[in-house]
Structure 1
Amino acid sequence: MTDSQPGPILPVRTLGKTGLEVPGLCVGCAPLGDMPATFTYSVPEERALETIRAIFKSPITFMDTAASYGDGESERRIGIVLKELGGVPVGYTLATKADRDLQTGDFSGDQMRRSVERSLRLLGLDCLPLLYLHDPEYTTFEAAMAPNGPVEVLQRCKEEGLIEHLGVAGGPIDLMTRFVETDIFEAAISHNRYTLLNTEADPFWDVCQRHGVGAVNAAPYGSGILAKGPRAYARYEYDEASREYVEKAMKFDDACQRYHVPLAVVALQFSLRDSRIHSTVIGMSRPERLDETVKLAQTPIPDELWREIESIRLS
């Protein structure tokens, strides 16, 4: 650990039974893995490194990556900066995720161990502070929970001191609910399913709360349409947005413009204002996005605009 101190402190919450104290904002490091096929833009290494260095000087003291982001590239770049700093700075929490083999699709217990060991190597750490089982929709619940399967192997890695806290991160809400209900996991991430356009994860946050599981909402902008606006970027969950989503997003955008409040402010605070959610993950690829995101989180929103947004959302 290093003794670097964060900037101005953001309010923190306890991330469920992990006991970790994390801010309501979390930096998503997927774009830093240079994934143009997913995000439609590339992130050169030097810009990624500048962004990572800026993260470790910022008030956003929670960051999230995964073995699959750039097939290790995001972790490798973070590891370069961690080596410069002599480890994860005091007060910061770094989370990553164990993944299937992206070439073969292997989602076995053995693959989970290989993924953990590679993450440790790329990040230059002896122990992963928080690791999630990632994208379990690429296997089945039964296979994931089988003897010597992915979950059991990750539990073993935790017992061996390779992982401090174990979570689960994925898409389908019914599947994610089954994993949380096992009471094995300490934190859970849902992505693209709790936004102004899609609130499928709404009951999931209640399940997390009942089981004392740290609740993390990722992609409140729906991968961009609710940040850049539907007229500039009509994509949701890394693909072309449906006509229904585009039309509704335009209504949100028009309402926000009438109140002179950026759409991104409302989209972000829709997640931040939900007390069941401990932290919200925002993907970032430039240093300046850190301060911009803090400002978005702190921008006042008139009650009248919230009422109009709710009316559009429920229509």
Structure 2
Amino acid sequence: MGIDISTMDVCTSQLNYGPGSETALATIRRVLEGPFNFIDAKGEYWQGAEGERCIGRAISEAGGLPDGFVLTRSVGPALALDFSGDGIVRAVEASLQRLGLDLLPLVLLRQPEEFSFESATARSGPLATLVRLRDQGLINHLGIAGGPIDLQLKYLQTDAFDAVISYVPYNLLDRAAEPLIQNTVSREVAFVNAAPLTGRLLLDGTGRSTQGMNRERVPARLERSDKMRLICAAYGIPLAAAALQFSTLDPRVASTIVGASTPSQADFVTDLAQWRIPSGVWDDLLDLVEESEPAISCRDDVIPTTDPLPCEDQGVSFPAAVSH
């Protein structure tokens, strides 16, 4: 299970914390404690170089990355002025220095729809450069993050990738990513689900939000989410706990990522992941899942961002830690 910290600067600003604040550092420290094993930092998306230095400080304080822990660094036109092979080499070397690491666990080719497949896969182009850096031992794994399913499948055909971070929904209400999951499993590529909550529609306390990854809020989907919320309420279970575990309990999903910006949000995600859910709840929920409409095409309907948790001052009730 992982945390996306790319929205940390936005949330800490809303909570009147300054960039590079102790809150950001405390959040990263908390994530490194577990049970998380994945941080999606998205490179310059979060406070640029200062964000990576903050992560590097937390890693140093922890005595290094925990065994098996995955930390991402992304490359793409939106993340650097120079998206050439040489530019990627410089970006990787700079990240290694800021993070205090000898190799980057996972480097992502992010938002591939922003550049042509031909330019990305050209000789001495971005993908060839990343493969070379992996061969040299500066990168452990390569992944692709975002983009329409058809485009992600096209990149997977190159056999260059070890992981996919998908923002195409896979959750209780929308299983549009199913074809991508099946393809990654057949290729023994890790599938990372970054859309377990349908934006905030499955998150308790946010109601019928029109915000989030899927812009379309069809009546049937809203009705199903209401039914699911009632099923969970009858057992005293947050719908968000079932939504998160629908992903984390799927053996085909290597990791599930939720956006979090404070230590309390990391605790909140931990509680949701550990909530005990009776089999009867799953029976009722999965009946509704099976009745859902065929997976919608998300080609033009996906905002490439991880499902975020709202800041604590936005009227969301964060439950206390649960007993187990």
TM interval, short-chain normalised: 0.7 to 0.9
Question: Which residue of the partner structure matches residue 296 of structure 1?
Answer: 272
Question: Which residue of the partner structure matches residue 13 of structure 1?
Answer: none
Question: Which residue of the partner structure matches residue 247 of structure 2?
Answer: 271
Across the aligned residues of Structure 1 and Structure 2, the Cα RMSD in angstroms comes to: 2.8
Q: CA deviation at 1:82?
A: 2.3
Give the alignment partner of residue 242 of structure 1, picking from 207, 217, 220: 217
**Is 1:206 equivalent to 2:213 in the alignment?**
no
> Structure 2 vs 1, CA of residues 185 and 91 (structure 1 numbering), >3 Å: closer, same or farther?
closer
**Is 1:150 equivalent to 2:126 in the alignment?**
yes
**Is 1:256 equivalent to 2:232 in the alignment?**
yes
Give the alignment partner of residue 99 of structure 1, picking from 66, 69, 76: 76
Question: Which residue of the partner structure matches residue 223 of structure 1?
Answer: 199
**Is 1:128 equivalent to 2:104 in the alignment?**
yes
Deviations, residues 71-97 of structure 1 (Å, cap 9, x unaligned): 525423212222334532445332332
Whether the aligned pair in 2 keeps the contact of 1:65 and 1:96 (CA below 8 Å) is yes
Deviations, residues 154-190 of structure 1 (Å, cap 9, x unaligned): 1122223221221222131111111122211111111
Whether the aligned pair in 2 keeps the contact of 1:109 and 1:148 (CA below 8 Å) is yes
Query: Using the alignment, how far apart are the partners of 2:17 and 2:119 within structure 1?
Result: 36
Letter paired with 2:155: F
Return 5+ residue gaps in structure 2 as ranges. 293-324
Whether the aligned pair in 1 keeps the contact of 2:11 and 2:261 (CA below 8 Å) is no
Whether the aligned pair in 2 keeps the contact of 1:181 and 1:211 (CA below 8 Å) is no
Question: Which residue of the partner structure matches residue 79 of structure 1?
Answer: 56
Letter paired with 1:92: F
Whether the aligned pair in 1 keeps the contact of 2:45 and 2:79 (CA below 8 Å) is no
Question: Which residue of the partner structure matches residue 11 of structure 1?
Answer: none
Q: CA deviation at 1:271?
A: 0.6
Question: Which residue of the partner structure matches residue 308 of structure 1?
Answer: 284
Q: CA deviation at 1:144?
A: 1.4
Whether the aligned pair in 1 keeps the contact of 2:168 and 2:176 (CA below 8 Å) is no
> Structure 2 vs 1, CA of residues 230 and 254 (structure 1 numbering), >3 Å: closer, same or farther?
farther
Residues paired across the two proteins, number: 287
> Structure 2 vs 1, CA of residues 85 and 304 (structure 1 numbering), >3 Å: closer, same or farther?
closer
> Structure 2 vs 1, CA of residues 83 and 273 (structure 1 numbering), >3 Å: closer, same or farther?
closer
Give the alignment partner of residue 171 of structure 1, picking from 136, 147, 156: 147
Query: Using the alignment, how far apart are the partners of 2:17 and 2:198 within structure 1?
Result: 20
TM-score (norm 1): 0.80
SS at match of 1:254: helix
SS at match of 1:257: helix
> Structure 2 vs 1, CA of residues 40 and 249 (structure 1 numbering), >3 Å: closer, same or farther?
farther
Q: CA deviation at 1:149?
A: 1.6
Whether the aligned pair in 2 keeps the contact of 1:226 and 1:263 (CA below 8 Å) is yes
Query: Using the alignment, how far apart are the partners of 1:288 and 1:218 within structure 2?
Result: 20
Give the alignment partner of residue 109 of structure 1, picking from 54, 71, 85: 85
> Structure 2 vs 1, CA of residues 299 and 84 (structure 1 numbering), >3 Å: closer, same or farther?
closer
Return 5+ residue gaps in structure 1 as ranges. 1-24
Bigger shift: residues 273-282 or 77-86: 77-86
SS at match of 2:33: coil
> Structure 2 vs 1, CA of residues 172 and 41 (structure 1 numbering), >3 Å: closer, same or farther?
farther
TM-score (norm 2): 0.78
Question: Which residue of the partner structure matches residue 56 of structure 1?
Answer: 32
> Which structure: greater strand fraction?
1
Give the fraction of aligned pairs with identical amino acids, expressed as a percent. 39
> Structure 2 vs 1, CA of residues 71 and 192 (structure 1 numbering), >3 Å: closer, same or farther?
farther
> Structure 2 vs 1, CA of residues 78 and 197 (structure 1 numbering), >3 Å: closer, same or farther?
same
Deviations, residues 5-58 of structure 1 (Å, cap 9, x unaligned): xxxxxxxxxxxxxxxxxxxx12222233x1359x98776421111111122222
Whether the aligned pair in 2 keeps the contact of 1:101 and 1:111 (CA below 8 Å) is no
Bigger shift: residues 41-50 or 60-69: 41-50
Query: Using the alignment, how far apart are the partners of 1:295 and 1:269 within structure 2?
Result: 11
